[in-house]
A and B are shown apart, each in its own frame.
Chain A
């Protein structure tokens, strides 16, 4: 049952990203639904699950975008891993904390993605100042809404343990 729920979330996430990027994009500005969901999964369920979600979301989104195949998969995996570690240090269960994490993660996402493009295609992927500045705020807002709605009832409750435990 959990698997079906996870698969449903996986494909709904893809659908959401597709709808927002295709129909609700304004001057290239749209919420990074997959990144927001990855942050949410990492906050609630940990690095392992977030990495699995992030890697496959990234892979499929790369396949759809017809750009560097594997770039988003790599970046979302790295962010999931980092958030999984951060989760043990910071309380990421509140909407506000998730929103702040989303703002920082979006900036990192854009920078790392740009570097990956620079390394593998020889050109930094720059989205423009408008998107670079507003997108983190936009993502933070959406992440706040998502965390407030708490669509993670299938996931286990967050566990606060020290990194040394």
Chain B
């Protein structure tokens, strides 16, 4: 009997000691984690229930996404069905254009191909000057090739290839202060309709400047600026940007100038299209 009592006493001291030790410990992260793990093992219903509720609450959203994906899929399938017809129309227009050009003794249109590339490096110090893309000589990129980016469904000019390496290339942006390309504006003014050529120059700032426009050009804010057919580097009629400010005519100058906001800011460009063979075709002409 004494043995049992001694054992009970020792066990009581041991368990009470352990309990007090556990009570004295601060609820530090390991103890809390242990408790949570133990709670999960013994009482997983709480966690499973929460997870189940979350899954159930997500069902309407998932179902909505599924339905919208299905609708989009059907729309895209319909668009794809239209593609052969559109291609046939483009081919027939090209043929007609070439035939008319040859009848009028005009030069043939420049034909070129594109290569996709990603912007892999841009320097904060040269934000409006240049960036590096993931396509180089290995993909057929050459010096002075024009670089474009998609502005929604529209293609916009971004810059030109300044330096080519084996797998990368440096693109000089239109906003670079050394960049200058020939451009034209189609005036939508109610008084006068017509197109005016000018020179688009960068200024290491968000906006471009177009100058050498005729003084009589009825320039208005919001008008679109496109690449000129006279440009050596760029194919014609590619969007450059929008006129945001027209400067008053200086009586000592014989031309007009305006600020142009590029269609795409350098910050918005992540993928670009490099137009291969534009220069060769233009030079050969």
Chain A: residues with CB nearer than 8 A to chain B? 14, 18, 46-48, 51-52, 55, 58-60, 63-64, 66, 68-71, 73-74, 77-78, 81, 84-85, 116, 120, 161, 165
**Most interface-central of B12, B20, B35, B39 (chain A CB within 10 A):** B12
Tell me if B31 counts as interface (CB < 8 A to partner A): yes
Closest to A63 in B: B38
A85 to B1, CA, bound (A): 12
Q: Choose one: A55, A59, A165; the contact of B1 (CB below 8 Å).
A: A165
Contact B42 A64 (CB under 8 A): yes
Q: How many chain B residues have a CB neighbour from A under 8 Å? A: 25
Q: Choose one: B7, B23, B43; the contact of A69 (CB below 8 Å).
A: B23
On chain A, the residues within 8 Å of B7 by CB distance are 48
Contact A64 B43 (CB under 8 A): yes
CB pairs A–B below 8 angstroms (28 shown): A14-B42, A18-B43, A46-B8, A47-B4, A48-B8, A48-B11, A55-B18, A59-B22, A60-B38, A63-B38, A63-B39, A64-B39, A66-B35, A66-B39, A68-B23, A69-B23, A69-B25, A70-B18, A70-B22, A71-B23, A73-B15, A73-B18, A73-B19, A74-B15, A74-B16, A116-B23, A161-B1, A165-B1
On chain B, the residues within 8 Å of A77 by CB distance are 12, 15-16, 19
Contact with A along B1-38 (1 / 0, CB 8 A): 10010011001100110111111110100010011101
**Which residues of B35-65 are within 8 A (CB) of A?**
35-36, 38-39, 42-43
Majority DSSP secondary structure for residues of A touching B: helix
Contact B4 A46 (CB under 8 A): yes
Chain B: residues with CB nearer than 8 A to chain A? 1, 4, 7-8, 11-12, 15-16, 18-25, 27, 31, 34-36, 38-39, 42-43
Closest to A66 in B: B35
**Most interface-central of A58, A68, A74, A120 (chain B CB within 10 A):** A74
A161 to B35, CA, bound (A): 41
A165 to B1, CA, bound (A): 7
On chain B, the residues within 8 Å of A48 by CB distance are 4, 7-8, 11
Contact A51 B23 (CB under 8 A): no
